[in-house]
Amino acid sequence: FISQRMWPIRRLSLGTRTQTRLFNNRPPYQRFNNKQKFWQTRTFWYTTGTGTVCGAIYYQSHLEDSPTGRRRFINVSSAEETQLGASAYMQTMATYRFQIVPHTSPVSQYVHKVAHRIIRAANIPGSWEIHVINSREKNAFVLPGNKIFVFSGLLSVANTEDALATVLAHEIAHVFARHSAEKLSAAKALQLLYIFVSLFVDPSAAEMGRSMATLLVELPNSRQCEQEADEIGLEFMARACYDPHQAVELWQRMQENEQMVPQLLSTHPSTAKRIENIRNMVPKALMKKEASCPPNDLTQTFFKQLGL
């Protein structure tokens, strides 16, 4: 009697174990934990492939030669560049409003004289704004739209007219070669790439890519622009009948006051590398000077170098 009443219970228990075993053998629930990543789908690769082809066509259509023949990507118009320069100019003037040296001062007139001599020799059209900032900083910079700023502390190192011409010609060369537009174009292209990777791959991969792009793309391009400005600037100062040899001496003096930064992490070439490059550029610049300057200027320069 007891065994007959217990039999359904054992059968029920057996059935429960069977159902439990069947439930455990079911495939895992895949809605959230094992969903296929978007970058593994065909849609992603079709989209990526189409975007890559369109991007390559767009990139090729916006390639142009720099003044030295270097191929580069630019998708920023001159009008956009000038507009950005005007905005940066207003911010700079507001920052240094109490340090701007009046145009009537001898120092400002001296800088204006050298700058305009180079601009005329280089035959660059347009009007220029040139300001001297009363500061011990030994530096100068240029903004798009022909805006040059020179810190008065630079004159202690650029202590001759030829040395100052070296710096000013370099800054004028940046504007002539449209280096600001080149850097802005590269930044825009990289920003689109960061956004794509962040949205469709992984935000952390985008951050890693940003660091790698800075190290491998942006900084090398900046150093290349600086070297190109040295080359063009040396030609400009030679056309203005300044002595290209003085550029080497200027950078030797700058080297004595600089803080060492690894070139790999710098926006500028190392000063030692810069001096070496300029030495190699001097013979070509001297040929430009011989073709542009009257013989009496060449004679005076020759006797000046002899100390006579």
Q: How many CB atoms lie within 10 A of CB 137?
A: 10
- Which residues form the catalytic set? 171
Sign of CA dihedral 172, 173, 178, 180: negative
CB 222 within 8 A of CB 275: no
Give the DSSP H or E segment for 131: strand 129-133
* Separation CA 272–CA 255 (nearest Å): 8
Q: How many CB atoms lie within 10 A of CB 207?
A: 13
* Separation CA 116–CA 130 (nearest Å): 9
**140: phi then psi, degrees, rounded to nearest 5:** -155, 155
CA atoms within 13 Å, Cβ hemisphere of 112: 14
